[in-house]
Amino acid sequence: MSKMVFCRNNVFQMTFKNGFTISLSSTGGSYSSNRNISYNEISPDRNEVELIEVACWDEIDRPGSFVPLSSFDDVIGFINADQVAQLISIISQAKSAEEITEKVLGLQSE
Residues 85 and 47 sit within 8 Å (Cβ to Cβ): no
CB atoms within 10 A of CB 82: 8
Residue 52: its H or E element: strand 52-58
DSSP bridge pairs for 22: 14, 56
Task: Report the C-alpha gap between 53 and 79 in whole angstroms.
Answer: 6
Digit-coded pLDDT (tens) for 26-80 = 877 788 877 767 656 655 555 677 899 999 999 887 877 899 999 889 999 999 9
Contact 2, 17 (CB under 8 A): yes
Mean pLDDT for 76-96 is 95
58 or 109, greater pLDDT: 58
pLDDT (0 to 100) of residue 23:
94
Specify the pTM: 0.84
Please check whether residue 19 is in contact with residue 58, taking contact to mean a CB–CB distance below 8 angstroms: yes
